[in-house]
Structure 1
Amino acid sequence: MTEWTLAHEDRRAPLLGRRTVMAVGMGAAALAALPSSASAAAKRLDPKNADDARKIIRKLRYRTDEGMVFWWIKGEYLADVDATLTPLYGMNFGGIQMVRQGQDGGFDVTQMELGFRTDLATGKRLGDFRNPLTGEMLVSPFNPIGPTTIHYSPDAIPTVPRNLGGSDIEFQPFPETPFEAQGNVFVQYRARSRVRTAGFADRIVNDVSMIYGPSAQALDPRTTSVDAWVHSSDVTSFPRWLKMGDRPGTITLRGIGAKVLKIGDMPQDWLAMLEAHDRTIIADPEAALRRPPVTYKG
């Protein structure tokens, strides 16, 4: 799933999302249709009920009907060495997802993750990069992820493919528990992935995010999607391209983003970078999800 799910950083491993969270489709309309009586309000979904919680989480992260979902995240990566944080580069991330119902009562999410590293001063796509920790001049690679399909069981348990674009992924999700506060519903998301790639050292990717959206949409059983936002703070071992060798330390993401239902509602600077990379994805994102998966080297 940004390094938001593997793709945020080099990747993000699935979901999976970290790991794509805007007002699309149902903003004002959903609010205008809200029930006002006490009896109608009692029919709201209950975050403490297990079945309702699964619906709430799906509406926040994806949608309960079939269709496209897009997430964006903007932020910066910082190196953490001996509790000293050093800014490295920015991240302008976009995730493209198609949600389809599964025959077993669950659902499938096919996704592609396109994260562009950026210069912290200009916001432009990163090219040559001097590692501030080693002084070495490097070239920032572009590592899109997917397309990858993740199946969710009727109990919303994901099955992540063991092989992701040529790398072996050991994925461990943690329980997601929604709660309501101050007119919003929040979901704490955390997953850990070990990435094994032949010829490279293993990488650990911890995807840590807080996804939230208005209670009026999240708890209304009639809505199928929520105008959701995400705060991401992934913690991972150093990306291989930084050539940190055996130096101790990690990198962490400080990012914020939102979910939209149309690719044209994604941030304009991300769209410009994607157009320069491959404009056919913008023209037909659904077709892009039918391509063979790219090789992952994150």
Structure 2
Amino acid sequence: MRHRRIEVANISRRGFSIGVSCGIAQFIASSGQARTAASINWDDPSERLHTMIRIMGRTDEGVAIRWIKGVLSGIVDQETTQLLGVSQQIFTRHQRKDDGSFDAVYLELVYFTDLETGKVLDKWNNPYTGRKVTVPAQVLGPTRIKIPMSLSVINEPYAMEGIKNKHWLEPLPIVGGDVAFNERIDSYVPPMTKGGAPLKFHEVFAFRAPFEMLADRSSSHVPATVDKVNVISWRPWMEMSEINGVSMSRGAGRVIVNYDELPMDLNRNNKEFYPDVVRDMDGYLKI
């Protein structure tokens, strides 16, 4: 196991970004899917939320993994420069309550990688400043949340004063037999150090799952894809607060329930950098 400086966030990224808001998701079925759609009552708030958790996670209290691989770019003077590879794994557990709502807990592992080799970086040459900076290993969370049938997300009290959040679900039409919806998150986090810059954050997760598989109510999870895009102010470790610009990440992946389904490089990195975290994931994800 390699020894690195590990940044364990007392305030996780999702802790920043998940707040109290209200979003009502309504799935629109075309006439071609009418027979399948009839098997699920979208007007029932409990059933609607239950179905969404089957796409985003699991309904049997087991661990699901949302993995995404992509590229982090910088945008300065309207020009985009690819900077780093970024891989994200969000480990989740959901527990249904008697009223149909869900309690949940999330834990994230994040790797920043070399664009050419895919190697996990602990140092990075910033092309904007010419400085070599330390890239922190990131274990974010665990973060505990509540998801009521209104589809709001409750994550209070916040870890610090001044945080502003908006978090909602955005329905999309059923296209080609798939159910699709966006999870959108807007956040503002005040400076965490004297003289530091605030963190402004916008992220979208786009989920897609086969409608016909959702009709099988015996399954606690259905195969799903997820795409992500976010726009975020410079991270403090990038040491570029004097540069006027933002970073943007774009990635794609899947929601899975089996560790063996992780891409080989993510499995390898987990064993090298976070073996204890992965080994005790059940302990971290206690609700």
TM-score under structure 1 length normalisation? 0.78
Shift in CA distance, 181/275, structure 1 to aligned 2, threshold 3 Å:
same
Match for residue 201 of structure 1 among 180, 190, 197: 197
Q: Secondary structure at the match of 2:173?
A: strand
Structure 1 counterpart SS, 2:208: strand
Asked whether the 8 Å contact 2:16–2:189 carries over to 1, the reply is no
Measured in 2, the distance between the counterparts of 1:168 and 1:225 equals 37
Matched, 1:260 2:256: yes
Q: Aligned residue for 1:79?
A: 74
Shift of 1:94: 1.1
C-alpha distance in 2, partners of 1:117/1:39? 44
- The 8 Å contact of residues 93 and 270 in structure 1, kept in 2 or not, is answered as no
- Which deviations, in whole Å up to 9, do the C-alpha atoms of 1:178-200 show, x marking residues without a partner? 43101211112211112235313
Paired residue for 1:58? 53
Find the partner of 2:100 among 100, 105, 121: 105
How far the C-alpha of 1:223 sits from its partner, in A, is: 3.3
The answer on whether the counterparts of 1:92 and 1:115 sit within 8 Å (CA) in structure 2 is yes
Matches within 5 A, 1:107-186: 107-164=102-159, 169-186=163-180
Give the root-mean-square deviation of aligned CA atoms: 2.8
The separation in 1 between residues aligned to 2:149 and 2:272, in whole angstroms, is 39
1:216 aligns with one of 204, 212, 221:
212
2:265 corresponds to 1:269: yes
Structure-2 separation of matches of 1:45 and 1:82? 49
Which residue, out of 87, 91, 103, partners 2:86? 91
- Of 204, 228, 237, the match for 2:224: 228
Deviation at 1:151, TM superposition (A): 0.7
The answer to whether structure 1 residue 191 and structure 2 residue 185 are counterparts is yes
| Residue type at the aligned position of 2:226 | V
Tell me the amino acid that sits aligned with residue 251 of structure 1. S
Partner of 2:21: none
Instruction: Report the Cα offset of residue 288 of structure 1.
Output: 2.9
Cα deviation for residue 67 of structure 1 reads: 1.7
State the one-letter code of the partner of 1:238. Answer: W
Give the C-alpha shift of residue 87 in structure 1: 0.5
SS at match of 1:58: helix
Going from structure 1 to structure 2, the CA distance change for 1:40 and 1:125 (only over 3 Å counts) comes to same
- In the TM superposition, residue 136 of structure 1 has moved relative to its aligned partner by 1.2
Match status 1:282 vs 2:283: no
Query: In structure 1, the residue corresponding to 2:137 is in which secondary structure?
Result: coil
Any unmatched runs of 5+ in structure 1? 1-6, 18-37, 292-298
Other-structure match for 1:12: 13
* Distance (whole Å) between structure 2 residues aligned to residue 198 and residue 248 of structure 1: 19
- Number of aligned residues: 261
CA apart distance, 1:80: 1.1
Q: Give the conservation status (yes or no) of the 8 Å contact 2:12–2:142.
A: no
Question: How far off is 1:65 after superposition?
Answer: 3.1
Distance in 1, matches of 2:233 and 2:144, equals 25
Q: Which amino acid aligns with 1:188?
A: N
Distance 1:46 1:186, change over 3 A: farther
Report the Cα distance in structure 2 between the residues aligned to 1:83 and 1:145, rounded to whole angstroms: 31
Structure 2 Cα separation of the partners of residues 57 and 143 of structure 1: 28
Structure 1 residues 120 and 222: alpha-carbon distance in aligned structure 2, compared to 1, 3 A threshold = same
Instruction: Please tell me whether the aligned partners of residues 56 and 219 of structure 1 are also in contact (alpha carbons under 8 angstroms).
Output: no
- Of residues 139-148 and 98-107 in structure 1, the stretch that sits farther from structure 2 once superposed is 98-107
With normalisation by structure 2, the TM-score equals 0.81
* 1:109-141 deviation line (CA, Å, top 9, x unaligned): 111101011010100101211111111111111
One-letter amino acid of the counterpart of residue 126, structure 2? N
Deviation at 1:246, TM superposition (A): 3.5
Please say if residues 171 and 194 of structure 1, whose CA atoms lie closer than 8 Å, have aligned partners that are also in contact.
yes
In 1, distance between residues paired with 2:280 and 2:192?
A: 33
